[in-house]
Amino acid sequence: MTLSPAQLARHVDHTLLSPTATADDVAALAAEAVHLGTYSICVSPAMLPVTAELDGVLVATVCGFPSGKHTASIKAAEAADSIARGADEVDMVIDLGLVKAGRFDETRAEIAAVRASVPAPKVLKVIIESAALTDDEIVAACRAAEAAGADFVKTSTGYHPAGGASVHAVELMAATVGGRLGVKASGGIRDWDTAVAMLDAGATRLGLSGTAAVLAGGTAEGY
């Protein structure tokens, strides 16, 4: 895939999910996103609403983050609160234990509960933590997300010890959803070649924290 930095930026959720982030940090993130031309910024729910000038850049947030070990009702309430405070998109973390136990109907049900709190045209992305799953579990989690009405499946939080995005996982996720859902690759994408490889594999969105360094052809730190 041949892309200009500006074209790649349009696939990026420019991300700041540090627990020590301040309002000033979010304002700086927003200004950088506008300058770089990213699709959105992604911030923690406590940092909403974003009052900085965004000039068309959307606002994403997270739900059940980073462990996913919250009840479906709590995730739904968190998502509803984020939407009420101006989020355009919500990236929810599933309960991985349900997937590991093969309880896929319950996975679908918790995603559906959050979907009900994120009505279209608001966007729901489902983080499946692909590095912690087998291929069969990745497929099952993606199918549950689609059945529950999600808009995207997403590889990773960037916080799991198993790791972040991989080309293999993105290819498998893209093949499973077949273009009916978007695919977001996130976690460990710290240079241009890796970012492009994820898009080549079928990702339609990227989660990056070191966006400026990646777009400049360098190596980023962090998410």
Q: Is the pLDDT of residue 219 over 80?
A: no
**Domains of the chain (ranges plus CATH)?**
5-215 (3.20.20.70)
Exactly one of 13, 75, 151, 154 is catalytic; name it.
Answer: 154
Q: Is the pLDDT of residue 11 over 70?
A: yes
pLDDT in tens, 94-135: 999 999 999 999 999 999 999 999 999 999 999 999 999 999
User: Which amino acid does the sequence have at 108?
Assistant: R
Classify residue 147 by its DSSP letter: H
Q: Is the pLDDT of residue 223 over 70?
A: no
> Mean pLDDT across the chain, nearest whole number?
97
Q: Is the pLDDT of residue 136 over 70?
A: yes
- Best CA proximity match to 90, nearest among 57, 128, 127, 55: 127
Exactly one of 13, 75, 91, 125 is catalytic; name it.
Answer: 91
pLDDT score for 220: 74
Task: Write out the E strands in the chain.
Answer: 12-16, 40-43, 58-63, 89-93, 123-127, 152-154, 182-186, 205-208
pLDDT in tens, 67-98: 999 999 999 999 999 999 999 999 999 999 99
- Best CA proximity match to 65, nearest among 129, 7, 138, 139: 129
Burial of 122 (0-12, 13-18, 19+ CB in 10 A): middle
Tell me, yes or no, if 135 is annotated catalytic: no
Tell me, yes or no, if 91 is annotated catalytic: yes
pTM above 0.85, yes or no: yes
Tell me, yes or no, if 122 is annotated catalytic: no
